[in-house]
Amino acid sequence: MQLDATLTLRDEGLSAFHQRHIKQGALGVFLRAIEDGRIQPGSVLIVEGLDRLSRAEPIQAQAQLAQIINAGITVVTASDGREYNRERLKAQPMDLVYSLLVMIRAHEESDTKSKRVKAAIRRQCEGWVAGTWRGIIRNGKDPHWVRLGEHGKFEHVPERVLAVRTMIDLFLEGHGAIEITRRLTEQNLYVSNAGNYSVHMYRIVRNQALIGEKRISVDGEEFRLDGYYPPILTREEFAELQQTMSERGRRKGKGEIPNIITGLSITVCGYCGRAMTTQNSKARAPKGKSVVRRLSCPMNSFNEGCPIGGSCESEIVERALMRYCSDQFNLSRLLEGDDGTARRTAQLAVARQRASDIEAQIQRVTDALLSDDGKAPAAFTRRARELETQLEEQRREIEALEHQIAASSAHGIPAAAEAWAQLVDGVLALDYDARMKARQLVADTFRKIVVYQRGFAPIDDAAADRWKRSGTIGLMLVTKRGGMRLLNVDRRTGCWQAEDDLDPSLIPSDGLPMLPLDA
């Protein structure tokens, strides 16, 4: 027999019981090659035994064997020398029965082993949660930053921990995965044995193992093993990281010059409410400047929905904002109010109560099913599934609220004016790192920044001056704590004048176009 060595596939270590050798491995590639016509009729597939081909449920395993045979391919089992093809099965149909018996036995063996392993893992998890057992649980992969020590306990791998901590710090500063990869590689730091890959990094920052927790799911029941690994982060630091990642789209700066107020879903046009954009232009830059940056409303034309439109120099707005927040008196007044912790705490209490109610309902349905010796009614089973889905959703909501509250506690005192002051020169000099840090401060501090690029009152009484530009830019600053300030900014110098204690609701609508603050 002549073997075709041009297509050699291996499925080492992939389960035939869980069908991973089809979903992830070579058998799946082989079946697709049959469908694509790469495997010619008359070919021979040699397997060690039919149980190597599949250990799935017999009806599914036989369907896979039939797919191969119907494609004109002969299957030969090396263990007993049997051949399976259309002609032979027509002549000896009992071979088909034999193959089914082999598949039934293989599935039952694997199913029994799987149940034993799951039962052992469940006992170990329950022992860990109860505090009666502290051994190693062989389930899933361990993170790359730990290894088993001499005494059978996990310990940190120092170079990996340094890489992961550096990666997290860069994420918190607002850097994207590409920039983080570049910096880690320059420092010869790698977060895993495979290197620095963005997909892997995003998985790491979501991994509960950062706080030492291992999560294991056994037949749909999840166990949380606290203290299984030595932690890298505290729970407060991890909560802050999760909150940052949930706002990732608002935190990431793009381009060579990161924008500190746009791209955050925070800065909007005061005349139409649309999100403002920053445009960098080298062609229009005056002498002495490498680039001119304009802050503009995308609906710049009067025909596109913005009644005023126009643009202003981004540097002027940034200078005014940075210098205003660099004064501790101004910043303290701006940050007066509640950060929403009380509201989230109330929401958490309600969510926990809902979860408790759903658990009680599930228990009642379970008790009703156990009390009936007959077959479970379909309605009961369907209701139990619905309740389990609702409970899982409620638990996710609880976890998200807990992360938000913990993150708020970690930032109980917002950044001091000194933090802003240290960045002013770097921001105006277009320093990348300084602007990324300033962008983070803006995202942490403000809920809305409303820009009136032609001033709060751009339209004069005189008809001839109807579209004449105002000499000032109007800024409305709204913090996450509910504080609000109005600034008149000189559009040439960036010097500002505050409208202290001004209640915007008292301003006539024709003098100051008002927007809903959650727009």
Q: 80-125 pLDDT, tens per residue?
A: 888 899 898 888 889 888 888 888 888 888 888 888 888 899 899 9
Going by their DSSP bridges, the two strands 267-269 and 221-225 should be labelled as unpaired
Question: How confident is the model at residue 23, as a pLDDT?
Answer: 44
Pairwise CA distance, residues 89 & 326, whole Å: 85
Q: 420 CB contacts (<8 Å, ≥6 apart)?
A: 322, 325, 326, 331, 438, 441
Average of per-residue pLDDT across 409-427 = 73
> Any alpha helices (H) in 271-340, and if so which ranges?
314-325, 328-334
The single-letter DSSP state of residue 275 is B
pTM over 0.75: no
Tokens of 161: 């921990």
Residue 104: C-alpha distances to residues 46, 57, 62, 118, 432 (Å) = 21, 7, 10, 21, 64
Asked if pLDDT for residue 477 goes beyond 50, the answer is: yes
The neighbour count for residue 375, using CB atoms within 10 Å, is 7
Asked if pLDDT for residue 399 goes beyond 80, the answer is: yes
Place of tokens 């996710």: 396
Average of per-residue pLDDT across 236-241 = 84
Q: What is the mean pLDDT of the chain?
A: 78
Average of per-residue pLDDT across 394-400 = 85
Question: How confident is the model at residue 407, as a pLDDT?
Answer: 64
Asked if pLDDT for residue 247 goes beyond 70, the answer is: no
Average of per-residue pLDDT across 406-417 = 59
Average of per-residue pLDDT across 428-442 = 87
* Domain spanning 146-246: CATH 3.40.50.970: no
Domain limits of the chain?
1-129, 146-246, 267-337+417-506, 341-410
Q: E strands along 276-394, which residues?
A: 277-281, 292-296, 311-313
Question: How confident is the model at residue 412, as a pLDDT?
Answer: 46
Q: First-to-last CA distance in the chain?
A: 74
Task: Determine the distance from the C-alpha atom of residue 163 to the mean position of all C-alpha atoms in its chain, rounded to a whole number.
Answer: 20
Question: How confident is the model at residue 458, as a pLDDT?
Answer: 65
Asked if pLDDT for residue 283 goes beyond 60, the answer is: no
Is there a contact between 446 and 471 (Cβ–Cβ < 8 Å)?
Answer: no
Asked if pLDDT for residue 460 goes beyond 50, the answer is: no
Asked if pLDDT for residue 230 goes beyond 90, the answer is: yes
CA angle at residue 406 from 404 to 411, to 5 degrees? 95
Average of per-residue pLDDT across 161-173 = 90
Tokens of 159: 């170079």
| SS3 of 36-75 | CCCCCCCCEEEECCHHHHCCCCHHHHHHHHHHHHHCCCEE
* Domain spanning 1-129: CATH 3.30.300: no
- pLDDT band of residue 161 (cuts 50, 70, 90) is very high
Average of per-residue pLDDT across 327-350 = 70
Kindly report each contact of residues 132-140 with a partner whose C-beta sits within 8 Å and lies 24 or more positions away, as own/partner.
Answer: 137/214, 137/216, 137/225, 137/228, 139/216, 140/214, 140/216
Question: How confident is the model at residue 511, as a pLDDT?
Answer: 43
- pLDDT band of residue 157 (cuts 50, 70, 90) is very high
